[in-house]
Amino acid sequence: MLRKLLLYLSNQAWLRHFISRYPAFRNIAWRFVAGETIESAFGVVQSLRKQGIESALDYLGENVTDLSSARESTDFYLSLLDRMYSSGIGNYVSLKLTQLGLDIDEEICKRHLEEIVSKAEGYDIFVRIDMESSAYTQKTLDIFKDLYHRHKNLGVVIQSYLRRSYDDVQELVRMGARIRLCKGAYLEPPEVAYQDKKDVDRNYIILMEYLLTNGNYPAIATHDERIINHAKNFVQKNSIPVDNFEFQMLYGVRRDLQRTLAAEGYRVRCYVPFGKEWYPYFMRRLAERPANVEFIVRSIIRE
């Protein structure tokens, strides 16, 4: 219930304006968001690297409604790539297609993405397209497949809560695509997505085993310790080298587990979001764990 309410509120502009200005929320958001500037995000990337953890930088933004904002986000990513290359900080970015104009014009969105991916390719930087709600799954995969033929430094995300994901994974693996596997963070109807956590987790394990066996350097993106232990046992049993895949987790979530896995010799990458448009991202993080909401309520009462 609470998850559904928070996911619904994550799309409400009126609440976004209120919360973005409320200092208590901003302070709590910094647990999950690496500040608003490139400098603050680079600081996080450097401190993670000291702990043996790599990063994926995400400049926050989604569902832009005009082409000038889509262009601004594209230009921001282009200058971020320049800064990453010249400073040697980071080798991986994540982005959302609705941030590049998918809601407005698919062709323009694809052109924006190709500008980013081409520049990243010259810098040897990997670009991951995040997966948004199921309204965008097919469009995202179509754009990915089109560009992947020309740019191998591009990857995509599959969500285990979607019923279609097994078929998508098989097709993408046949193409040699690099997949990040996650459970899925949006509010979805039962026709397209499993509603029961047990089914989402079961499907995650099926897809994960398939990817670890057949995939091209899959990213196992979860904080679920049971699933992570399953992955560790599976690769050991099947003699899969630990550098054939990586674990990925979100900034501010299970930092202890991130450090432990890195110390055990696994490759770990942390998703590091930054920028002013943190509200919907932050609300999705709250929705994933009701205890986060209790924490906020307690901090506001204390203020």
Helix/strand/coil percent split, the chain, to 5: 55, 15, 30
Q: Is 128 a catalytic residue?
A: no
Q: Mapping DSSP to helix (H, G, I), strand (E, B) and coil, where does residue 76 land?
A: helix
Strands (E), the chain: 54-59, 92-95, 126-129, 154-159, 178-182, 219-221, 246-250, 268-274
**For ligand FAD, the closer CB: 249 or 261:** 249
x/- binding map, residues 195-224, to ligand FAD, per CB under 6 A? --------------------------xxxx
Contacts of 118 (CB under 8 A, 6+ apart): 151
Tell which positions 55-94 bind ligand FAD, by CB under 6 A.
none
In the set 130, 168, 201, 224, the catalytic residue is 130
* Residue with Cβ nearer ligand FAD (83 or 223): 223
Contacts of 287 (CB under 8 A, 6+ apart): 2, 3, 6, 7, 10, 185
Determine which residue in the list 182, 193, 211, 272 makes contact with ligand FAD, applying CB under 6 A.
182
Q: Which residue intervals of 176-289 are DSSP H helices? A: 197-214, 225-237, 255-263, 279-288
Is residue 279 within 8 A of residue 19, CB to CB? The reply is yes
Number of residues that bind ligand FAD (CB under 6 A): 23
- Among 42, 186, 194, 251, which residue sits at the site for ligand FAD (rule: CB under 6 A)? 186
- From the CB of 218, what's the least distance to ligand FAD, in Å? 12
Q: Can residue 289 be called a binding residue for ligand FAD (CB under 6 A)?
A: yes
Q: Please provide residue 151's backbone torsions phi and psi, each rounded to the nearest 5 degrees.
A: -135, 110
> Which of these segments, 16-24, 34-42, 233-241, 249-257, binds ligand FAD (CB under 6 A)?
249-257
If one asks whether residue 248 binds ligand FAD (CB under 6 A), the answer comes out as: yes
Residue 130 makes contact with ligand FAD by CB under 6 A: yes
Residue 166: CB atoms within 10 A of its CB come to 15
Nearer to ligand FAD, 122 or 290 (CB): 290
To ligand FAD, the closest distance from the beta carbon of 17 in angstroms equals 23
The answer to whether residue 180 is catalytic is yes
Taken as a whole, the chain contains a residue count of 303
Active site residues: 130, 180
Site residues for ligand FAD per CB under 6 A: 130-131, 157, 159, 182-186, 221-224, 248-250, 253-254, 271, 285, 288-289, 292
